[in-house]
Structure 1
């Protein structure tokens, strides 16, 4: 999770066992087709593993056994199926239970066992805070490290003693205030010498952006302006002035000639020499924003020993405490989690030199000056070394950190989820490919735009054949503004983007008394998805909608035609061509030809069948699109050549050289030779050209390269190439409707969603010409056949219509060819009666309401004269009796519906003493056919609004909340409040002059009849 700074406590963020884990978590796509009969039953009553999850945050020391149980029982009751457990320190006074104390571990074990009892799955972050893996048990020697240096210019003729200064540490990216005094001392004191080098003093010159290229800093990509998506790898470099470059033949290794105090036992030859002292230091990364007892260094991400020591101190202690997991339940601890990177980069470790030499094939010693911005050999040679440095860092992080963590998880019967983005010194897709469950993050409108991470996570799962794509969902600086209806459009965008497992950010643990509401928050963050929400007792209806969608979107495999290959580059963030997306940048929707991206590491597992690029997990693609990147290793180019020879269609330009110094300069000649063999030439043709090679072809030249879009040809160019292959768009229903498509041998499932606040009626064209279509409504769970459709070559046209922001599934049963009876796809709606006249409305006096009030007409609560209504937050009950018109007749078809019109923000309807449904989105109506009477009918509607109105009302009264990071005295001493306030929260989102939120049932309330 990436967040801005807030006060001093907030920082810029957040064999058998393996088979068991895979089966338990359902990682691999369900290619074996579920029968539609079974799927319909699961759609109506979705399985528990399809239920959404929450980030279950605990604030530094504020834990309660009773609160944990109440939290979890409320989750189970309202349809939450999983939790992600993290403890942080974000703007709340410290509690009494120290992190990782014996009492804390006992409470954690209680939470795990309660999850087991309730069938709720728990995921545990792999360290305190949300950033990574570390803590006070991590020694400086096993922490993330940098290679630092000092330099001294000496004159060979001076004959003076040479005492080299100790290199200073680099400034921590988040500043020194992330440390406690003890940690700051350790950070300053830790230093070990690595090498001493001397060479003739070069002319003044510093490599551009060397701090980023040498992995001293990697700023957050989403929340800091100007952060590069990637570092370029050009094929040519300018010549530098004479005297700038250091000749490696003149570098003298003096490592063994320096005493501990820096005195150098060496007499320099005549002339001016530069002597550099290199050493290792902690890089300044600490656990953030950890509970105070959990504050410590991040462990070394290059070293399995360091990671193992950390895991023993943290997860190992907890696993020992909770004991063996019960085999009779699906709940309890099932996953470990690596949240968004947010801990910067490292470029050194105790064994880094040896690992570099093993992986790159040469000794990096003579190139250490490049870390400091010096040019060694030439500008090209230095930049190639930096590429090798970053590539080695990536390999060590992937292999020695992420994969080691995954193996550890599997040994304990757990899975591993990873959010592979933000400050990540690797390519996001290379790191994320390790995960059992790839994760991403998206913020509510007005927050950071991390939509790119969602496209990355979906690509990872699709390419790897994994069923679940998880998301830290709806992250916000919210103030209780959000509710299911306000989140509907963005949630449906996430489904269409490929996400099928929400973890709402955030369910804040509530350890305070039940009367203290809204209660504990994570500072300003989160959509407050917890049991103290006003609408929480009505939330199951929405959670069931989400569970239905998530279950459907895990079936079969996704359909995508275009595969974008990312370059061999670290760091690298995949950004799809903007031209391949529609809508706004915050919620970008795919166009008619869907796409995924893969990393070079993933591509090596691909094969070609029937001219499609296919991965072991089942994902297949019509074209492979190369990035507009000038360098490529011979190994990757050889793989691409093999794919084309086997029948693949590849779109892109030939590379010109290899990156890095491994095998240099012969590697360049190899790349040129392979490029000429595959493309036939290296000069780009003026017009678009197809070159046949083996059973496949290369498409390049002309418009393919005339204008690139985020490194790739524009979408329309690639789309025309796919269309020319006889493959129409997968879906088209105009600009108002988004989609995603999953398929199996038995069916095609399309999720379609109106992304506008207007009613939409259009013809939708689906790329399938087999199977009878049906509509599956995830709001109600009902399914019915669509009799109106027409076929054309490879496509089916279906007339569709949507209410504002409405969504549903169109399912094609490939095993059924019998056309359904004649009729309409959507009913005609006629009004039966409008419920006019007065309503009796009851407001809870505990929250300042006036009790029973008569409304002569339906009106916004904030427009009422009573302060107890104007500032009311919570549930109010509307009651009324009505008679149907005497000529009204109905049975199962046509049906009668109660339409509530306009509701702020949710409502539950009871008619004649029976509950008939909860409404939270358009259309705001419920089926009353089985309950309504010809005579007198008694109607009760529970309507709930949001917390802000009561909070704003309380701001008119004296402040008795948290002051100067201290709990209020009345709370500590358990005495009565005297302010007159009804609410209590640990963060103030509103002032007394803020506008109130529209609330209540505004109607008109009508009875309607549907005619097909």
Structure 2
């Protein structure tokens, strides 16, 4: 079963939706969490889903079996677990190889890709269209996205109409349109519907008495077509609000595949970018069924420039109705349809004019997005001024997707990762890692690279590229090192996909406060607009402050409150497995009386609910005075007692607290925060029965090395390094309701702490800690530098008297080279200390290193602080050290542009820079590349 009503129409409220969700959740086999094995001292078993995935652009769908075979084997070797096929525009000069989307030849290539994926234990997702958003040549004008064109007229008994009622939109050619509704308004009179009294010439056949104001609503196509469409995928954007249009769109796929769908895992829908779409033909009838009144009788207020209370309430109802239409007519119908074909759905709800939590909750894999780069105070991390976007990525935005996954029992919450992380060819793993860690900390556990472009072997460097991507493809000079980064991702995700989420707080999201904005009409909740609709809100400020002081937080909507049960004083979601301690209601201007009633019911059953303030009012227009009275009466039924900084009431089996000082209220309820955040550490926690996984990250500028307190009782703890994969038994101090664990994390490092309720039966090696003053062995011998793979030419090898980046060398090719080069040297160990930890510190690496000691591969150092434990590889006497360094593509691309060598030659948008201007690297400065060092060996003997 799927998380929806499976094709049945819902009743008039989202609360009914929530009850339906609650009924179907326990039986959702593909959505429920399974209890993880404890994996004592071991990493969870790797799966295709614990490996990173990638969006896979098919440029022009110019794919062939030989290259599909080659590339997919390369991806598998690099540690990619799955691919999301997204056909887009093609490269010029290859038109003869283009395959039309959904043609028999295209479908044959899709089947072949899936067969190869199956043979490699990989999986495939498929976007259900080309480019974005959904649309294409199958979308007829009546199925296409619509908007309202509102025009106002005056009518007098003496003079008649001031002008013909004809659409006055410019550039109307080619856009289907018609007069949908005409309403007449006069003070003190009942509005009149004159829609059927208009002639084809715009004349009005009516004998109204006195002076009237008329409001005409024209339905018109937005005219938007699919962005970045692939051959065979061009056409109008779909009307996502129309049940009939969406059904017709989905029927086209049934026909194209003859109902014989290939073995893909999931259908995918990108972020909602249907610009200007705010209407559909059935809107007014749908509105009346949902909201209980005819908004046509209030069009004069809805379109007025006033910002009074009634206007705000009408606009709130309009926005809620649009949200309902998107949820029911598109998202649920789509998810229902996919489920009927035994497929999952993966959806990006952000950007839509809807309730993000409910939209995410209606699919199998909610997906967020990281766009741009964040500031991290990690010493040495590069962030160029040209890389900074208008709004930094915000992990709280990602929590809308992960919260929906947690509350509905979905195992996976995904993210489109690294969209415009930086300017093309200038982004390194060291910049990507903390950005990804920020997503992991927000509850994401299924990352997708944005992305990899299918590029045939015969296409020269830099291969086919997509204009908004990190472009980590097989032509990238970092590609030979991506296996190391992917291993880090896989280990981390294997933990974050284990057990159950363990966030103790649910913060109520008052979406009606967003919808009550008196400005404008539509309200799209975009990643780029969070400074307007998210950051200023009490909800955001409360959530952020609670996370910063060490509480685990998920978000809950009005509808999702109805999926919760109460056991004792604990709230339970996700089919009985996700346990929550307290619901937080931040300062809220508008709350439905049914929502307050639900909160009181939960408290009566045993839940604890903390309000910052009494909810001020009810949303919406109809009967709002009487509904406000109901809200007030419900609140008055709570018998509060005053405390020093709060009001508190025993309510049934639970408690209700009102306090603007939320941390104090939580302490009064006995909640323990994670004090580790006082050290600047960030965390996310998973439960495995009575055990806990903590994913811990140091994004500060200082090393943390001390006994760190964890708010869980344990008799042992295991440290797990996701970069190198090492595991060991930690030093701990057990205490009542907390465990202190010895932690040493440099800026930029992460660690997983597995806190065990009971002592492990297995015999485990102890974790090797670093000491404060290790012995230092300087690597000051000469270095042999050998260039391996890359271009535009392979420079001459060099013997370096002292370590330096290769771009500092004089001669042909050094500055222009992008690829991999090997630095070789040696060091002496007079004696080998059995229990010592030998840490190789590479210093500054530009940009990634792969290390061998005595001919054995140690691993990859791809991110700050560029350190590797080589304890198991060193020996007494002379030790050979080999360090392969991979740099960025920037210098090679600069060479191409300076020499006017054509490489960007695509249809549609072609190739642009981070500011969407024509790309040109000819003026770039050389990016320093190679091993800067200093390289040294630390001997931690204890």
Q: Is the 8 A contact 1:301 1:400 kept in 2?
A: yes
Q: Aligned pair in 2 of structure 1 residues 199, 898: CA closer, same or farther (>3 Å)?
A: closer
Q: Aligned pair in 2 of structure 1 residues 545, 390: CA closer, same or farther (>3 Å)?
A: same
2:578 counterpart residue number? 619
Which of 190, 193, 196 is the matching residue for 2:179?
Answer: 193
Task: Measure how far apart 1:768 and its partner are.
Answer: 1.1
1:291 aligns to 2:219 (yes or no): no
- Whole-Å separation in 2 of the counterparts to 1:47 and 1:950: 36
1:252 counterpart residue number? 192
Which of 307, 330, 334 is the matching residue for 2:246?
Answer: 307
CA displacement, residues 906-952 of structure 1 (integer Å, 9 cap, x when unaligned): 22233444433333235545555555554555443322111112223
1:416 aligns to 2:345 (yes or no): yes
CA displacement, residues 631-684 of structure 1 (integer Å, 9 cap, x when unaligned): 332222211221222233322233344322344543233222222223669xx9
Q: Is the 8 A contact 1:197 1:251 kept in 2?
A: yes
1:316 counterpart residue number? 254
Q: Is the 8 A contact 2:405 2:412 kept in 1?
A: yes
1:231 counterpart residue number? none
Which of 540, 551, 575 is the matching residue for 1:577?
Answer: 540
- Whole-Å separation in 2 of the counterparts to 1:352 and 1:958: 54
- Whole-Å separation in 2 of the counterparts to 1:644 and 1:867: 75
1:438 counterpart residue number? 366
| TM-score normalised by L of structure 1 | 0.79
Which of 759, 762, 765 is the matching residue for 1:816?
Answer: 759
CA displacement, residues 395-420 of structure 1 (integer Å, 9 cap, x when unaligned): 12111110011011111111111111
Which of 641, 644, 647 is the matching residue for 2:600?
Answer: 641
- Whole-Å separation in 1 of the counterparts to 2:903 and 2:312: 56
- Whole-Å separation in 2 of the counterparts to 1:482 and 1:955: 19
Q: Aligned pair in 2 of structure 1 residues 198, 35: CA closer, same or farther (>3 Å)?
A: closer
Counterpart mapping for 1:162-311 below 5 A: 164-169=164-169, 185-187=173-175, 190-200=176-186, 246-247=187-188, 249-269=189-209, 271-291=210-230, 293-311=232-250
Q: Is the 8 A contact 1:785 1:820 kept in 2?
A: no
- Whole-Å separation in 2 of the counterparts to 1:444 and 1:865: 36
SS at match of 2:678: coil
1:367 counterpart residue number? 298
Which of 922, 925, 935 is the matching residue for 1:995?
Answer: 925
- Whole-Å separation in 1 of the counterparts to 2:616 and 2:432: 48
2:267 counterpart residue number? 336
Q: Aligned pair in 2 of structure 1 residues 953, 603: CA closer, same or farther (>3 Å)?
A: same
Q: Aligned pair in 2 of structure 1 residues 746, 904: CA closer, same or farther (>3 Å)?
A: same
1:979 counterpart residue number? none
Q: Aligned pair in 2 of structure 1 residues 790, 897: CA closer, same or farther (>3 Å)?
A: closer
2:68 counterpart residue number? 68
- Whole-Å separation in 2 of the counterparts to 1:482 and 1:770: 41
CA displacement, residues 149-179 of structure 1 (integer Å, 9 cap, x when unaligned): 4343232134x6887322334x7xxxx7xxx
Q: Is the 8 A contact 2:640 2:647 kept in 1?
A: no
1:211 counterpart residue number? none
1:156 counterpart residue number? 157
1:57 counterpart residue number? 57
- Whole-Å separation in 2 of the counterparts to 1:70 and 1:821: 41
- Whole-Å separation in 2 of the counterparts to 1:491 and 1:73: 25
- Whole-Å separation in 1 of the counterparts to 2:25 and 2:215: 52
Q: Is the 8 A contact 2:370 2:418 kept in 1?
A: yes
2:334 counterpart residue number? 405
Task: Measure how far apart 1:795 and its partner are.
Answer: 1.1
SS at match of 2:49: helix
- Whole-Å separation in 2 of the counterparts to 1:822 and 1:21: 42
1:511 aligns to 2:456 (yes or no): yes
The farther-off stretch of 775-784 and 480-489 is: 480-489
CA displacement, residues 839-860 of structure 1 (integer Å, 9 cap, x when unaligned): 2222248632233221122111
1:667 aligns to 2:609 (yes or no): no
- Whole-Å separation in 2 of the counterparts to 1:145 and 1:964: 31
1:707 counterpart residue number? none
Q: Aligned pair in 2 of structure 1 residues 589, 686: CA closer, same or farther (>3 Å)?
A: closer
CA displacement, residues 797-840 of structure 1 (integer Å, 9 cap, x when unaligned): 22311133111111112132799999886144844744433222
Q: Aligned pair in 2 of structure 1 residues 931, 620: CA closer, same or farther (>3 Å)?
A: closer
2:32 counterpart residue number? 28
- Whole-Å separation in 2 of the counterparts to 1:432 and 1:147: 27
- Whole-Å separation in 1 of the counterparts to 2:151 and 2:815: 67
Q: Aligned pair in 2 of structure 1 residues 745, 958: CA closer, same or farther (>3 Å)?
A: closer
SS at match of 2:860: strand
Counterpart mapping for 1:402-801 below 5 A: 402-422=331-351, 424-445=352-373, 446-447=388-389, 448-451=391-394, 452-476=396-420, 477-511=422-456, 513-514=458-459, 516-523=460-467, 525-569=468-512, 570=515, 571=523, 576-578=539-541, 580-581=543-544, 590-617=548-575, 618-652=577-611, 653-678=613-638, 688-700=646-658, 704=660, 717-732=661-676, 734-787=678-731, 789-801=732-744
The farther-off stretch of 425-434 and 90-99 is: 90-99
Task: Measure how far apart 1:695 and its partner are.
Answer: 2.6
Q: Aligned pair in 2 of structure 1 residues 815, 255: CA closer, same or farther (>3 Å)?
A: same
CA displacement, residues 449-470 of structure 1 (integer Å, 9 cap, x when unaligned): 3424212112212222222111
- Whole-Å separation in 2 of the counterparts to 1:536 and 1:112: 23
Q: Aligned pair in 2 of structure 1 residues 338, 21: CA closer, same or farther (>3 Å)?
A: farther
Q: Aligned pair in 2 of structure 1 residues 680, 145: CA closer, same or farther (>3 Å)?
A: farther
SS at match of 1:868: coil
Q: Aligned pair in 2 of structure 1 residues 913, 275: CA closer, same or farther (>3 Å)?
A: closer
- Whole-Å separation in 2 of the counterparts to 1:635 and 1:673: 12
| TM-score normalised by L of structure 2 | 0.85
Task: Measure how far apart 1:86 and its partner are.
Answer: 1.6
Q: Is the 8 A contact 2:215 2:299 kept in 1?
A: no
SS at match of 2:212: strand
Structure 2 unmatched runs, 5+: 1-19, 374-387, 516-522, 526-532, 911-915
1:224 counterpart residue number? none
Q: Is the 8 A contact 1:566 1:574 kept in 2?
A: no
Task: Measure how far apart 1:601 and its partner are.
Answer: 0.9
Q: Aligned pair in 2 of structure 1 residues 54, 963: CA closer, same or farther (>3 Å)?
A: closer
Q: Aligned pair in 2 of structure 1 residues 723, 59: CA closer, same or farther (>3 Å)?
A: same
Q: Aligned pair in 2 of structure 1 residues 961, 883: CA closer, same or farther (>3 Å)?
A: closer
The farther-off stretch of 360-369 and 527-536 is: 360-369
Q: What root-mean-square deviation, in Å, do the aligned CA atoms of Structure 1 and Structure 2 show?
A: 3.5
- Whole-Å separation in 2 of the counterparts to 1:283 and 1:955: 39
For these two proteins, the number of residue pairs brought into alignment is 872
SS at match of 1:697: strand
Task: Measure how far apart 1:772 and its partner are.
Answer: 0.7
CA displacement, residues 418-452 of structure 1 (integer Å, 9 cap, x when unaligned): 11112x11121121111211111113422343424
1:129 counterpart residue number? 131
1:117 counterpart residue number? 119
- Whole-Å separation in 2 of the counterparts to 1:856 and 1:545: 34
